Amino acid sequence: MSIVYLNGEFIPAEQARISPMDRGFLFGDGIYEVIPSYNGRFVGFAEHIARMQQGLAELSIDPQLNLADWQTLATRLLQDNNNTIGSNQAVYIQVSRGADTKRNHAFPLHIKPTVFAYSFAIAAEPVADKAKASCYSVITGQDLRWQRCHIKSTSLLGNVLHYQQGYAAGAQEILLFDAQGNLTEGAAVNVFVVKNGVIATPPLSHKLLPGITRLLLLNILRKHSTMQVEERDISEQEVLNADEIWITSSSKEIAPVLQVNGQPVGDGTVGDVWLAAQQLFSAHKYD
């Protein structure tokens, strides 16, 4: 039986209850995080919490928990669930504004945030091995989400519809482009392209989530390699002509995309730059 955290208590999942008047349920009025861990070690824990705190501040939600509190909470979840879930777990955290007695769009003043966290099994850590890489087919589409994609909000309908669009087309992700034709991100991933050995990813803005895998990867590449890395606008044409495309997220780390709209990316095989990048990421992600 798995143990979850809800509003200060560690309880069996079956006993966790929240009100249907919770604004997370009624409005998607909340923030979430997904933090991976392997054998009890989190990847980018402080960075994930910093992004969550920033999102909560933007929504004026204050659960009154600091980094050390979150660390204690998440570590306890890993420990309590190690026997049932295993040693590779991601911790999902969700903080909503809380439950009021009536439904009203305005922020209620005197309610307490609802804090929920649970852990779930994830695959073993990705390895830098071309033969073992999890590879993806994607389609492209126009980004029809809102103008606050930098907030990791539980209001994920825009992302869900885009993800489903890719899924319905037989793909596993969708690469999204803004009204100017520039790449933003995927439905649940950030995107990198490689051309002639140069690595590029879109710059941070309200158009995309500041992914923690993206952040760690950029830092690692800049610190531990001489590879050229750019944060800049990337057109659809550039994506379609790229030698390599990668999608990044906490669960995937760096995953090669081998097909876009049914066409091969580069020569259609896992690239050498991916291999070098995943090697560096695997070596330094816990630094």
Please give the structure tokens belonging to residue 131.
């033969």
Which residues contact residue 2 at a Cβ distance below 8 angstroms, ignoring those fewer than 6 apart? 12, 13, 81, 84, 85, 118, 119
For position 190 contacting ligand PDD by CB under 6 A, the verdict is yes
Among 85, 209, 218, 254, binds ligand PDD (CB under 6 A): 209
For position 184 contacting ligand PDD by CB under 6 A, the verdict is no
For position 91 contacting ligand PDD by CB under 6 A, the verdict is no
Three-state SS at 3:
strand
Nearer to ligand PDD, 36 or 99 (CB): 36
Three-state SS at 193:
strand
Is there a contact between 276 and 129 (Cβ–Cβ < 8 Å)?
no
For position 242 contacting ligand PDD by CB under 6 A, the verdict is no
> Is there a catalytic annotation at residue 152?
yes
226: left (phi over 0), alpha (psi -120 to 50) or beta: alpha
Q: Considering only the stretches 107-115, 129-137, 211-219, 263-271, report the one whose residues sit in contact with ligand PDD under the rule CB under 6 A.
A: 211-219
The catalytic residue among 102, 112, 132, 152 is 152
Please give the structure tokens belonging to residue 84.
């049932």
For position 189 contacting ligand PDD by CB under 6 A, the verdict is yes
CA distance 158 to 15: 31
Among 34, 115, 242, 273, binds ligand PDD (CB under 6 A): 34
For position 211 contacting ligand PDD by CB under 6 A, the verdict is yes
Nearer to ligand PDD, 5 or 192 (CB): 192
Among 4, 43, 200, 212, binds ligand PDD (CB under 6 A): 212
DSSP 112-166: PPEEEEEEEE-PPPP-S-GGG---EEEEEEE--S-S-TTS-BS--HHHHHHHHHH
For position 159 contacting ligand PDD by CB under 6 A, the verdict is yes
Burial of 101 (0-12, 13-18, 19+ CB in 10 A): exposed
For position 49 contacting ligand PDD by CB under 6 A, the verdict is no
- The residue ranges that bind ligand PDD (CB under 6 A) are 34, 159, 185, 188-190, 209, 211-214, 248-251
Residues that are catalytic: 152
